[in-house]
Amino acid sequence: MHHPTLCAVAVGVLSALPGAQAALYTKKSSVLQVDGKDYDRLVAKSNYTSIVEFYAPWCGHCQNLKPAYEKAAKNLEGLAKVVAVNCDEDANKPFCGTMGIQGFPTLKIVRPKKGGGRPMVEDYQGQRTATAIVDAVVQKINNNVVKIEDKNLDKFLSGKNETAKAILFTEKGTTSALMKALAIDFLDVITIGQARNKEAQTVKTFGVEKFPTLILLPGGDAPGVVYDGEIKKEAMVKFLSQAGAPNPDPAPLKTKEKKKDAKEKKASSSTKTKTATSESSSATSESQTSTETQQAPVIVETAIPIPAIHTPEKLIKECLTDKSHTCVLAFVPSSEDEAAKKALDGLAALSFKHSQSKRHLFPFFEVPKSNEGAASLLKALDLSSDIEIIAINARRGWWRHYQGADFGQTGLEAWIDAIRMSEGVKKKLPEGIVAISVEEPTPEATPEATPAATESASREEATPVTPEASSVSESTESASTQPVEPSVEPETAAESGHDEL
């Protein structure tokens, strides 16, 4: 029934009328009202794709379009901007003129050019239905999501500096509008990638077992975090924001009506959910922070826990022979212990951080005190606290003691950095600690039952270290785009033969 007919622009006549009609879209509308002054900031300079309707309130075709346009705006919420400019407003007339508007309604799709510059503007001449409009706009959302395949995983993990990264694991081969929108929100803040379930190596590396799964790799200090909430933009933005604030100009998101179905209630019962303020529909259109429908992100586990050494033999083999390079050992009463957990998480995060930026680092191990080898080593070094962290280099005959105030990551990192730079106090290892590598384990190192050994072996195997291990070479591209690391790593570079943690 709709003829894409236009109302002729009748500026002259109009301005003679006493008092123009009210705008078609109210403040509460899902359609974003923009005037000539805002257009540049909200549309032309946005990283988002927008559809813009230039209209006049008196125009019948514009009035007919209104329901479909508002519906399209609801469906595109958080994905693209649906904008209206009232060309009947005196203040907007010059602007509508410069946009070359010759009839109402005129619909234009505006999207940023990749790489900057003036946006691309094209007329929308499709059907004036919500579905057609949504389809056309979705097609024009720029895709900044990196497609991850096994063969380019390393490049993805090492590329783009040290920005945080997030990976969606999915069964789908296409990129959803939601993922595209997230990538736009976090452009240059978080690099977002998508990996298909058939990329077996990538899936294994992160231990992903269900699809979809979203994993955030904050890059800096934090360990990988698995998203455990709903596949909804608002909640996902909140989750990703742990790694960095989104860009200042997101596509509008409105808070949904409070219609919590039983499932949602159940899902969020364990998390703190703020109740939204009553007038959720007004004035919150730009709200990114409303938490009404979202669940708090749950840190499921550190993506890559450090391996544990459960037997004296293994301890010797890894760190105490005359050929052993630097090892960092965390002696803990039990990994369940609160402080121990903090220390182990901190070390896991550091190890992960280094593996992500491809810096070779000495291995970190958890050594439960139940390992008899731990007791004799601690005794020899005269260490008696609940938790002790040391670095040890049996080949060179030195060790270092971590003496930070707590086991927070900052302290640990400073300590590790000092070791990497060969700074700080090295102590001489007492006699009798270093095993000659061809010999059998030292007498007091009583062999433990095999189950423990097997457990430790399998635990290490399960540790997904592949980002580092499978890196055949640092490709030239990534080498050239990577910042030059402070390459003073005398101990690691020169003598560490370890290429996996």
Ligand X SMILES: *[C@@H]1O[C@H](CO)[C@@H](O)[C@H](O)[C@H]1NC(C)=O
Per CB under 6 A, residues contacting ligand X are 45-47, 160-161, 187-188, 247-249, 481, 483
Distances (CA, A) of 156 to 93, 192, 244, 312: 48, 10, 18, 39
**What gap in Å lies between CA 9 and CA 1, rounded to an integer?**
23
Q: How far is the CB of 481 from ligand X (least distance, A)?
A: 5
Name residue, tokens 């457990």.
Answer: 455
Chain CA centroid to CA 157, Å: 12
The residue among 87 and 222 lying less far from ligand X, judged by its C-beta, is: 222
Q: Are 86 and 53 contacting, i.e. CB atoms less than 8 angstroms apart?
A: no
Q: Is 69 exposed, middle or buried (0-12, 13-18, 19+ CB in 10 A)?
A: buried
The residue among 12 and 116 lying less far from ligand X, judged by its C-beta, is: 116
User: One-letter amino acid identity for 267?
Assistant: A
Distances (CA, A) of 372 to 311, 437, 442, 449: 7, 19, 12, 12
Q: How far is the CB of 245 from ligand X (least distance, A)?
A: 10
The residue among 42 and 51 lying less far from ligand X, judged by its C-beta, is: 42
**What gap in Å lies between CA 295 and CA 272, rounded to an integer?**
7
Q: How far is the CB of 36 from ligand X (least distance, A)?
A: 18
The residue among 474 and 500 lying less far from ligand X, judged by its C-beta, is: 474
Q: How far is the CB of 133 from ligand X (least distance, A)?
A: 23
Q: How far is the CB of 290 from ligand X (least distance, A)?
A: 19
Q: Which residues pair with 148 in a beta bridge?
A: 195
Q: Which residues pair with 330 in a beta bridge?
A: 366, 389
The residue among 222 and 320 lying less far from ligand X, judged by its C-beta, is: 222
Q: How far is the CB of 220 from ligand X (least distance, A)?
A: 11
The residue among 78 and 373 lying less far from ligand X, judged by its C-beta, is: 78
Instruction: Provide Rg for the chain, Cα atoms.
Output: 30
User: One-letter amino acid identity for 399?
Assistant: W
The residue among 91 and 479 lying less far from ligand X, judged by its C-beta, is: 479
Angle at Cα 288 formed by Cα 284 and Cα 293, nearest 5°? 85
Q: How far is the CB of 454 from ligand X (least distance, A)?
A: 44
Q: How far is the CB of 189 from ligand X (least distance, A)?
A: 8
Name residue, tokens 């707590």.
Answer: 406
Q: Which residues touch 173 (CB under 8 Å, ≥6 apart)?
A: 196
Measuring CA to CA, which residue among 106, 101, 99 is closest to residue 128?
Answer: 106
The residue among 54 and 186 lying less far from ligand X, judged by its C-beta, is: 186
User: One-letter amino acid identity for 389?
Assistant: I
The residue among 161 and 277 lying less far from ligand X, judged by its C-beta, is: 161
The residue among 188 and 423 lying less far from ligand X, judged by its C-beta, is: 188
HSE value, Cβ hemisphere, 13 Å, CA-based, for 28: 4
Angle at Cα 105 formed by Cα 99 and Cα 107, nearest 5°? 60
Cis peptide leading into 212, omega within 30 of 0?
A: yes
Q: Are 353 and 429 contacting, i.e. CB atoms less than 8 angstroms apart?
A: no
N-to-C CA span, the chain: 67
**What gap in Å lies between CA 184 and CA 176, rounded to an integer?**
13
Q: How far is the CB of 160 from ligand X (least distance, A)?
A: 6
The residue among 116 and 173 lying less far from ligand X, judged by its C-beta, is: 116
Q: How far is the CB of 76 from ligand X (least distance, A)?
A: 17
Q: How far is the CB of 192 from ligand X (least distance, A)?
A: 13
